[in-house]
Structure 1
């Protein structure tokens, strides 16, 4: 199966990412995903249904979420996207059982692998640690040191 031209792959990914996140429509990803799509993520691999559920949980917890593509590169059958997500945790979400009310801004990189004109696989590297610190779910380094935790002077 031949891969679609790089410019077309980039345009498809940009359009879908905007629809999914800023358009608040996780089902839009179905337009470019293969039936056996796999999302590989530090929090666990997901099929298409699982990816949609994770995205919806993020959207539900962050009603003011804003997504921005910072960079996009392509080579062969792959597209790499560097992006930022930003918003306020106002409801239970992917990372929170209870809303924290905290504003957060984090970045990530996703690599998409195309089979023909569809995405078969994606790999995500997202700053979950920094996001969890901003949400108040884990202490920031300064708080840990101030409380006498690891890294505090002896």
Structure 2
């Protein structure tokens, strides 16, 4: 097994290459051929994972990825992060740009095989993001329209 600092460095390299350098194709060098991204919106192989990331980057040109915590143990690295930006073009969640800024938290667990990322499990706040983009009403919006409860 590779040392913990090396696994953490590989994950950091992956995240900064994808988000700061806007280069999902950098995953080709860091991930196994049979890599799988497990996500609440569906599992993806390497090509489909890169496609999803491209859609987010293309739709949110000012996207910023901030690592809040980076923890490693055994063959796993866990990242707690914040992702934010302005939806200025069609993206992963939008067919039409909303022009709205969003900021959402997430946690991802990476599993290594040797020095490569073999799997990742995402727990991202899609609901909060969709509310911020105006794609679904927030709880406050539902309460103000009177749709929150039924009459007897």
What TM-score range do you get, normalising by the shorter chain?
over 0.9
SS of the aligned residue for 1:92 comes to coil
TM-score of the two chains, using structure 1 as the length reference:
0.95
User: Runs in 1 of length 4+ with deviation above 3 angstroms?
Assistant: 151-154
Unaligned runs of 5+ in 1: none
Paired residue for 2:20?
A: 22
Deviation at 1:149, TM superposition (A): 1.2
2 CA distance for matches of 1:19 and 1:86? 17
TM-score of the two chains, using structure 2 as the length reference:
0.97
Aligned residues, how many?
Answer: 152
Deviation at 1:30, TM superposition (A): 1.4
Deviation string 1:59-80 (CA, Å, 9 cap, x unpaired) is 0000000111110101100000
Paired residue for 2:144?
A: 146
1 CA distance for matches of 2:49 and 2:126? 16
Paired residue for 1:76?
A: 74
Paired residue for 1:47?
A: 45
- Equivalent in 105, 112, 115 of residue 114 of structure 1: 112
Deviation at 1:150, TM superposition (A): 2.1
2 CA distance for matches of 1:104 and 1:142? 17
Verify: 1:67 aligned to 2:42, yes or no. Answer: no
**Equivalence map 1:86-105=2 (5 Å):** 86-105=84-103
SS of the aligned residue for 2:7 comes to helix
Structure 1 pair 30–136 and aligned structure 2 pair: CA distance change class (3 A): same
CA RMSD of aligned residues (A): 1.3
Structure 1 pair 15–144 and aligned structure 2 pair: CA distance change class (3 A): same
1 CA distance for matches of 2:93 and 2:108? 19
